[in-house]
Amino acid sequence: MPRSIGVQVVADGLTARETECLKRAISAVNGLQSQFQVGDAIHKIALPGKRNVLKEGASFDALSRRARKDRLFCVTPWSFAGNDFQVADQRCSLLTIGDWEEEYAPPSLQTFIVYQFAFAFLTWAADNVSDKVLVHKKTIGCRMDYCRNKRELKLGMLAGYICPKCKGHLRQLDATPAQISAIERILDYVQAVSKGEDRVPEDWDSAFVVMRFSEDDENQAAFEHGIKPGLRDVGIVARRADDVIESRPLLEKITSQILSSRFIVAKVDARRLNIYYELGLAMGHRKDVVLVSEEKWTNRLPSDLSNWECLTYPKGDYAALRRKVAKFYRENYARG
Ligand SMILES: [Zn+2]
């Protein structure tokens, strides 16, 4: 699995409120996916030219040249030439947010910035092309619409999707399915909050462990001695619905835990069938799911699950399980 793409944020001239919105947007984007890791710090680069930054002095090119290992996501309050509001090449994206709150909100400025992150990510996922190649002229609500004004962009925020044609195009340009899915997760979020839905923010640093257990059984031991310490080794807190009674409130509790968790660890075997409902729920909400199973059950799991990553361990070897869990998260989700 390729490493995630690192992104640095650069801004200049923002008000305190705009900076706060940008910070919240960064945290939302990082909480929603792991393919693009946006640094928390907002760096300052004074942009030459101020108004019409693109027209005067080619400041976008200057910014783009500064992008080395990480991509640059640059934000300014100043307007561009030609009423463009975001431009991106394979290293750098420049966004103007100046008139959003006055002229176009709702959706909120924060949501608008999140949506523009999705645009930059799409450009960077399709390596070696600029937004000029990717966008289409027609406004159909796709994230790759070329919008002549921000009002058209609001349609895209409410539609929150990438059209099938663009998706195919992105695949041809070597965007990975994981990257596309990460961007779609951001778009789902934008759509929901643009419609006024409350979105429970996902908690990056915790994983919900889906399993059934009772005192001193195998699952309890696997959780205490394998999964929980393995996650702790990589800075993730393991959560579990500490309740063994099968009741409706328990299911509601589990559902809300699944929705608010970024990661799901599901301990599967061929006996506890309730787990498969919860697993389906988690997969349907595009959570990052990993399966855990004792080796002896591996061949007896439903064939639909054969494509999913399953961490197995010999019976009773919880130290091995702990190592596997830590290794898996370190390799796939380590934050740069
Ligand atoms: Zn499209």
Task: Convert the pLDDT of each residue in 86-113 to its tens digit.
Answer: 888 888 898 888 888 888 888 999 999 9
pLDDT in tens, 34-45: 889 999 889 887
Q: Using the mean position of ligand 1's atoms as its centre, give its distance from the Cα of residue 94 in Å.
A: 21
Within 10 A of 234 (CB to CB), how many other CB atoms are there? 18
Mean pLDDT for the chain? 83
Residue 2 has pLDDT above 60, yes or no: no
The residue assigned the tokens 């608010």 is 260
Are 238 and 228 spatial neighbours (Cβ–Cβ below 8 Å)? yes
Q: Using the mean position of ligand 1's atoms as its centre, give its distance from the Cα of residue 78 in Å.
A: 28
Residue 10 has pLDDT above 70, yes or no: yes
Bridge pairing between strands 86-88 and 92-96 = antiparallel
Are 238 and 336 spatial neighbours (Cβ–Cβ below 8 Å)? no
Q: Using the mean position of ligand 1's atoms as its centre, give its distance from the Cα of residue 279 in Å.
A: 31
pLDDT in tens, 210-264: 887 766 688 889 999 999 999 999 988 898 876 444 555 777 788 888 888 889 9
Domains, the chain, in order of start with CATH, read 5-194 (3.40.390.10), 203-333 (3.40.50.450)
Residues 294, 253: Cα–Cα separation, whole Å: 26
pLDDT in tens, 50-99: 555 555 445 677 778 888 888 999 998 877 765 567 888 888 898 888 88
Write down the pLDDT at residue 247. Answer: 56
The confidence band for 121, taking pLDDT boundaries of 50, 70 and 90, is very high
Write down the pLDDT at residue 317. Answer: 96
Sign of CA dihedral 191, 70, 79, 128: negative
Q: Using the mean position of ligand 1's atoms as its centre, give its distance from the Cα of residue 7 in Å.
A: 24
Could you tell me the CA-to-CA distances from 190 to 88, 109, 156, 295 in Å, in that order? 20, 11, 9, 41
Give me 231's structure tokens: 């996650």
CA 75 from centroid of its chain's CA atoms: 20
Contacts 24+ apart (CB under 8 A), 41-48: 41/8, 41/9, 42/9, 42/10, 42/11, 43/8, 43/9, 43/10, 43/11, 44/10, 44/11, 44/12, 45/10, 45/12, 45/74, 46/12, 47/12, 47/13, 47/74, 47/76, 47/78
Sign of CA dihedral 320, 323, 326, 331: negative
Bridge pairing between strands 5-11 and 71-76 = parallel
Write down the pLDDT at residue 81. Answer: 64
Sheet (strand 203-210) strand order: 237-239, 203-210, 261-267, 288-294, 310-313
Q: Using the mean position of ligand 1's atoms as its centre, give its distance from the Cα of residue 134 in Å.
A: 8
Q: Using the mean position of ligand 1's atoms as its centre, give its distance from the Cα of residue 31 in Å.
A: 25
Alpha helices by DSSP H, the chain: 16-32, 59-66, 109-125, 131-134, 150-159, 164-172, 177-194, 218-222, 228-232, 248-260, 274-284, 318-333
Q: Using the mean position of ligand 1's atoms as its centre, give its distance from the Cα of residue 68 in Å.
A: 29
pLDDT in tens, 275-309: 888 899 898 887 889 999 998 887 777 777 777 78
Are 67 and 10 spatial neighbours (Cβ–Cβ below 8 Å)? no
Q: Using the mean position of ligand 1's atoms as its centre, give its distance from the Cα of residue 82 in Å.
A: 22
